[in-house]
Amino acid sequence: MRLQRPLPPGSTIGILGSGQLGRMTALAAARLGLGCHIYAPERNSPAFQVAAAHTVSTYDDLAALARFARTVDVVTYEFENVPAATAAFFEGKVALAPGARALAVAQDRVDEKSFIASLGITVAPFAAVTDEENLAMAVAKLGRPAILKTRRLGYDGKGQVKIDTATDLAAAFAAIGKAPAILEGYVSFDKEISVIAARGWDGEVAVYDVPENVHRHHILHTSTVPARISAAITEEARELGRRIAAALDYVGVIGVEMFVGAQGLLVNEFAPRVHNSGHWTMDACLVSQFEQHVRAICGWPLGDPSRHSDAVMTNLLGDDAALWARLAAEPYAGLHLYGKTEARPGRKMGHINRLTPRQG
């Protein structure tokens, strides 16, 4: 269901999911005089601390979802694994943005790659895998190295295994739990970049500058703007972001991950939500990706996405955040901590945006 009219200050955004992305969205909404009601199964969540209302229940609790829907003016989500049935539940009751189609496509890596390829955009060569036999056929076709990924529910390198010259295929398939999978040819790339774009209900689009992303152990480590890529590649990447958002009739912020290599730009995947590689916008732009998402889904004019500073965003994982006092003392840096009490290794505890005056 589409939004019937722009939501004035005082309206309430419903957010499915209660992690740091929901938290930062709620903070951005508060700045515009909008409230948030967070719905999630987990107790003691980062987003609950900063929102006026929250509901703790499962995503299949139809009674709780119905109560939630009655208290909010629009529903969004901060993670892409919201069950399709939950998204469908809101149909006809309250506006949902991004819509159920973007969610469904993003949830299945084969559908996602097929959709992107159908737009004439280059993706890694891929094949669907359902059993060991067609895994062997796919490896014979795509060659080694290749990457085997579960079709659904993978993130930060989970549910993935690289298939090298010596990798035993049965063991690789077992390592991902013999789940329906995608095999992707291994792309040799120079850089990973991403496009953070916002699209409104009326089709207006705003695209941020392109960050260059470095991962460590499959988790984003830094995002740097500007990326060290040509102006032509930057514009091409932004255009791909616009095209994907338009083709999905998307509303909200979308994060599109890409590889830059000798063969040009390849799209890896998109996230139907605000994205970790867009966190630098909180300090290097007047309107952050979180505020932009709020503006888009609430039918407001989109904000100016231009960047007033160069920036390096560094994720603070696990014990990194224990250095908060030192980080907080850094000049020209924005520190963001997510209010998580337990610092498990690899857990995203916060991030810091280190700014320098804009060079170009």
Residue with tokens 């959709």: 115
The pair of structure tokens assigned to 271 is 């996230």
The distance of closest approach from Cβ of residue 192 to ligand AMP in the complex, given in angstroms and rounded to an integer, is: 5
Our finding on whether 143 is near ligand AMP (CB under 6 A) is: no
Single out the residue of 78, 112, 192, 209 in contact with ligand AMP (rule: CB under 6 A).
192
Nearest to 66 by CA among 12, 3, 14, 1: 14
Q: Is 184 in the site for ligand AMP (CB under 6 A)?
A: yes
The tokens of 145 are what? 């190295």
Nearer to ligand AMP, 186 or 324 (CB): 186
When the beta carbons of 16 and 127 are compared against ligand AMP, the nearer one is 127
By CB under 6 A, residue 254 contacts ligand AMP:
no
Beta-sheet pairing, 205-207 with 181-185: unpaired
Nearest alpha-carbon partner for 152 in 116, 194, 103: 103
Tell whether residue 141 is a contact of ligand AMP (CB under 6 A): no
Sketch the per residue contact string, 327 through 346, with ligand AMP: x for CB under 6 A, - otherwise.
--------------------
Q: Rule CB under 6 A: is residue 25 a binding residue for ligand AMP?
A: no
Alpha-carbon span 21 to 14, nearest angstrom: 13
Long-range contacts of 58-67 (CB under 8 A, 24+ apart): 59/16, 59/83, 59/86, 60/85, 60/86, 62/89, 64/39, 65/39, 65/89, 65/90, 66/93
Binding-site member from 117, 187, 335, 337 for ligand AMP (CB under 6 A): 187
Which of 31, 70, 218, 308 binds ligand AMP (CB under 6 A)? It is 218
Structure token pair of residue 96: 């949902």
Provide, rounded to whole angstroms, the least separation between the CB of residue 157 and ligand AMP: 5
Q: Contact positions toward ligand AMP, by CB under 6 A?
A: 124, 147, 154, 157, 184, 186-187, 192, 215, 218, 257, 268-269
